[in-house]
Chains A and B, each alone.
Chain A
Amino acid sequence: MNLDARLTDALARLPDYLGGHVRVSLTALALGIALSLPLALLSIRRPTLRAIVLALSSVVQTIPGLALLALFYPLLLGLAALSAHVFGVGFSALGFLPSVLALALYSLLPVLRNAVAGLTGIDPAVSEAAVGVGMTRRQALWMVELPLALPVVMAGIRTAAVWVIGTATLSTPIGQTSLGNYIFAGLQTQNWVFVLFGCVAAAGLALLVDGLLALIERGLGARRRAWVVLGTLGMALIVLVALAPGWSRPQARYLIGAKTFGEQYILAALIEQRLSAAGLTAARREGLGSNVILDALGNNEIDVYVDYTGTIWANQLHREDAKPRADVMAAVAAWLRDHRRITTLGELGFENAYALAMPRKRAEELGVRSIADLARVAPQLTIAGDYEFFSRPEWAAIRAAYGVSFRAQRQMQPEFMYPAAGAGEVDVVAAYTSEGRVTQYDLVVLDDPKHAIPPYDAILLIAPRNAEDRALTEALRPLLGAIDVDLMRAANLRATAGGDAASPDAVARWMWEEITRRKGATR
């Protein structure tokens, strides 16, 4: 029955996710059309402008969707700050706005190219006749050139619609709720029902919109008013349905952020449950990019989330050295307070650091307990890491401190890295310390006697506007120091197990039960 439960869960989120998806993609498409059609008209008689515009929109097209979307966030953040400074009115740089702008840019090329092709491809004899019978430039455009170019223009609009609806799934990491929420959450929590559901829903929406636009196009071409009306009504219906949940959904008082990996989904669920237990309404903004989430908190676009000291130490303080846990914690908290007015409520109690780990049996055979021991045997061993590990300062620091050098390095998706270590295909993995699969595959985390790797303490961060919010801080305080690395590993492992008990909400409930049980035991 767990497939049913997952489907029910997925369906329950559909109004919210689909609504967000439709709002962002149709707004982007409308904006894209509103920009590219006039540009196409302006450029028909100006070959130089046409070449420039087409080249620019082609360049935009070559930027990967995720990167284009992510680039708009800092840009808008700057604009919002400028606007707040100059006009006294800021705007939210998270979610809707950057997504719409990036997706609209994406839709430019197909609409522009087809509109130009359609308008320049008109039989010169027909254009001459339009002028010869006494049409003005504008009349020739509206009565002859546009109607004749329409099928080609509509084909471009349909291509753009399919692209935009597909790419809109990538707006999840910059904080726009979309069908991508299913995909990002599903990939991180190993919920393949969610992944499939998100893909199928996005594809279904794309096909539906494409079909309705095709109906309108055929209707216009064949002068079937009924088809045009039907297609337009269909589009209007989609828009109405998309708007409906937005109006009826009660506004949550607090927004909880979560990055794009499983542990963050669980912690966000745990925070939400704590807030709602304290009678505070909260909602989650999940799957936010690592680059976006801290800025979002600093700008009060989310209220609370969990980050890791080492991440801020390296990415914000630009430190490449490692210091003891307490020193890093103090430096990070001070920096967040002074530079971002963010309150560090405290540590949760575990670290999610990078660490080198080996299968227990192999480590014992080789007599390896620490990275220092490893240096001796490393030239015969293979190491695997995620896509960024080997370019991170931690790896440079490890090599500098211990002089380790492996026979081979392999980059892998974390989902496959641990099983590969379990199966003996690689000897050492660059693991995360709170990763549940460290337990599952019986790996040992190697000591770091020279403290080459900075500490990654999980810390609860509060947005500037909530600094004095006693209700919020009191509701969250019971979580401080309550989650040790064993609990977090166990929770992460449960989340990968599949089944109803593996959903972030269920795992979070289990964690809270554990926390209260332990507190009861110590009391």
Chain B
Amino acid sequence: MPAPSVISFEGVGTVLAGHRVLDGISLAVAQGEFLAILGPSGAGKTTLMRLINRLAEASEGAVRVEGEDVRTADPIGLRRRIGYVFQNIGLFPHMTVAENIAITLRLLGWDAGARAARVDELIGLVRLDRARHRDRFPHQLSGGERQRVGVARALAARPKIVLMDEPFGALDPITRDALGRDVRGLHDALGLTTVMITHDALEAVLLASRIVVIRGGRVIADGTPHALMNEDGDPYVRELMQTPRRQAERLRDLTAGGA
């Protein structure tokens, strides 16, 4: 029996300022999936994700979160129960690490003691150092540390769904890899349903359990990383998957031959 779908798009289209951004999207995300939305810039990836917590509105069709049509849901409540990791990290510069992480808890009315305990827990969860980082301000952290705080903030209110908009885009390759693996680990450990936007096919292949490729506002491919890597489908998808495949082959050569 398939897992129940946590997020579903039913014939969704979006027109922004007279410009069609999304067209006829139908998609169901199952409980526990790690879905990567892959596509070139301007493909409509971010709009698609923003429909889920109503940062954007669909012009046609319906978006459901845990079975409820988002149009009837309170957008503020919706955003507070869905974790969000921003592309530009988006930490509040005038708040400490602890205050940034606790912001949604504060909005939900948690008392200070409960917030502090949860913050300590989360700092450990994203592998930051309680003593060193808790009371720092964002500008005193490295890029990787900042996005770890961003992830902790998204997870604070124990959401079942986490949305990530190119979360590792601004990071160096080593930090990117470490944080990516940690995020995937948290996804598994906490039983989350994660939707991640990326334009990096390798990242999608390595982290996601399912990849949806979007181009020109339409879904042009949808499958497991394994399926997409090995299928002979749409030429753009094949081209997209060439990159990780070539990288993998080159690495295999290097590690085997040493040349």
Task: Give A residues with C-beta under 8 Å from B.
Answer: 123, 125-126, 128-136, 139, 143-144, 147-148
Contacts and interface: CB of A to CB of B under 8 A. Distances in A.
B8 interface: no
Give 9 closest A-B pairs by Cβ, nearest first. A129-B90, A134-B80, A125-B88, A134-B79, A132-B84, A125-B90, A147-B94, A133-B104, A129-B86
Contact of A144 (B55, B78, B92): B92
B107 interface: yes
A135 B93 CA distance: 16
Given A128-B55, A134-B107, 13 more contacts: A126-B90, A126-B91, A132-B55, A132-B79, A132-B90, A133-B79, A133-B80, A134-B79, A134-B80, A135-B76, A135-B107, A143-B103, A144-B92
| B77, B88, B94: residue with the most chain A Cβ atoms closer than 10 Å | B94
A132 B53 contact: yes
Contacts of B153: 133
A contacts with B: majority SS: helix
A133 B150 CA distance: 11
A129 B92 contact: yes
A133 B103 contact: yes
Interface residues of B, number: 21
Nearest to A135: B107
A131 B107 contact: no
B95 to A, nearest CB: 9
A134 B83 CA distance: 10
Nearest to A221: B94
Contacts of A148: 92-94
Contacts of B87: 125
Interface of B: 53, 55, 76-80, 84, 86-94, 103-104, 107, 153
A123 to B, nearest CB: 8
Nearest to B88: A125
Contacts of A132: 53, 55, 79, 84, 86, 90
B86 A134 contact: no
Scoring A129, A134, A135 by chain B CB atoms within 10 A of each residue's CB, the highest score goes to A134
Contacts of B88: 125
A125 B86 contact: yes
Interface of B is mostly: mixed
A130 B94 CA distance: 13
26 contacts: A123-B93, A125-B87, A125-B88, A125-B89, A125-B90, A128-B55, A129-B90, A129-B92, A131-B55, A131-B79, A133-B79, A133-B80, A133-B84, A133-B103, A133-B153, A134-B76, A134-B77, A134-B78, A134-B79, A134-B80, A135-B76, A136-B76, A143-B103, A144-B94, A148-B92, A148-B93
Contacts of B86: 125, 128-129, 132
A156 to B, nearest CB: 18
A126 B93 contact: yes
A130 B77 contact: no
B143 to A, nearest CB: 14
B252 to A, nearest CB: 39
A135 B79 CA distance: 8
A133 B80 CA distance: 6
Contacts of A147: 94
Contacts of B91: 126, 129
Nearest to B96: A223
Contacts of B76: 134-136
Given A125-B86, A125-B89, A128-B86, A133 B107 contact: yes
Contacts of B107: 133-135, 139
A184 B157 CA distance: 66
Nearest to A122: B93
A128 B55 CA distance: 9
Contacts of A143: 92, 103
A45 to B, nearest CB: 17
